[in-house]
Amino acid sequence: MTSDVIKKLNKIYAEALEEVGKGKLYAQRRVELEIKYLGRKGKLNDVFKEMAVLSDSARKEVGVLANKLKSDLKLQLGQAQLQNKKSATTITFDETIPGARPKIGSLHPITQFLERIMAVFSTLGFEIVEDREVETTVYNFDKLNIAFDHPARDMWDTFYIKIKNKKEKIKNKEESSLVLRTHTSPVQIRAMEKRRPPVRLVVPGRVYRHEATDASHETNFYQLEGLVIDRNISVANMIYVLHTVLKQLFGDKVKIRIRPSFFPFVEPGHEVDMSCIICEQKGCSVCSGTGWLEMLGAGMVHPVVLKNMKVDPDKYSGFAFGMGVDRLIMLYHGINDIRLSYSGDLRFLKQF
């Protein structure tokens, strides 16, 4: 009797294994087989009913076997489904399906414009120089003839940097500390520490100011500094260079005019205006009806600054200028808010 029950159990187990091995074992099929063989009313449990007539020791022997077969079958079912999942993954990978196209970025409009403007200056023989954005007040102000207590410092209010390690403190002036540079003009001095006239250079770079932002003011923006020093350099040379560059960028119709202005590091100092390219000087909201747009500060390098560069003002003269790159870009592309350039908004950036 015992052997009959054992035979029956082995037969059911073999039958179950055969079914497991047939075709692919998806989740639903696995559940069906579990119910059929291992469920409460499943085939293996059915055999238990026949055990009532067996002796205690025989019942124990059959019970141990039945439980072993049940757990083996469970294991086989699990493995078969896992195997199926693995092969399913292999089969569904089709290398001929086109991949997701990677999103290709582009150079930022500011970078694009800087490259353009620097190409123009390169054709005029200008060298491109870059320098630090964290600057000492000595270079940002003092060496540019902006004394410690001069009200001109208010025009260039900025972010002062605390120096934690006292050993790092700058020693050459007591009141000196670190600032985020407010303009690219300090690079005039830095560049001249390694060069002797004649020089022709431009300095593109980021500058920082303590500003309330609006459509034409940012707390960080780009400038392009220019410096020319040689014998017999005059305002005429400055006008020629600036007019040539603006014509190259905005077209031959562009006119410029210069107005007196004050910057402590130049004498005489000028504001340079460009004829409004939007309305062609008929008067519009961009030029506030004047027909002119203020583009940059410029002037003849101050003798004090030349001396700070260790250049003899009796032998040499020069001119310098500082363009607000962001405002040039706004005009160039017809952008109505400077803040868009720094927003990281892809709807804006994708247009360039």
CB distance 199 to 208 below 8 Å = no
Q: Tell me, residue by residue from 204 to 223, as one string, x for binding to ligand FA5 by CB under 6 A and - for no binding.
A: -----x-x-----xx--x-x
Rounded Cα–Cα distance for residues 261 and 252 (Å): 26
153 binds ligand FA5 (CB under 6 A): no
Residue ranges in 161-190 that form contacts with ligand FA5 under rule CB under 6 A: 183, 185
Q: Tell me, residue by residue from 218 to 257, as one string, x for binding to ligand FA5 by CB under 6 A and - for no binding.
A: x--x-x-x--------------------------------
The catalytic residue among 29, 209, 270, 302 is: 209
Pick the piece of the chain touching ligand FA5 (CB under 6 A) from 15-23, 232-240, 251-259, 317-325: 317-325
CB distance 228 to 318 below 8 Å = yes
The DSSP string of 177-246 is -EEE-SSSTHHHHHHHTS--SSEEEEEEEEEE-----BTTB-SEEEEEEEEEEETT--HHHHHHHHHHHH
The catalytic residue among 298, 305, 311, 320 is: 320
63 contact partners, CB below 8 Å, separation of at least 6:
48, 51
275 binds ligand FA5 (CB under 6 A): no
Identify the bridge partners of residue 296 per DSSP, sorted by sequence position: 272, 323
**Number of residues in contact with ligand FA5, rule: CB under 6 A?**
22
The catalytic residue among 183, 270, 302, 327 is: 183
Beta carbon nearer to ligand FA5, 77 or 238: 238
The catalytic residue among 207, 223, 272, 311 is: 223
Active-site positions read 156, 183, 209, 223, 266, 320
Residues that bind ligand FA5 (CB under 6 A): 183, 185, 209, 211, 217-218, 221, 223, 225, 263, 266, 296-299, 320-322, 324, 326-327, 338
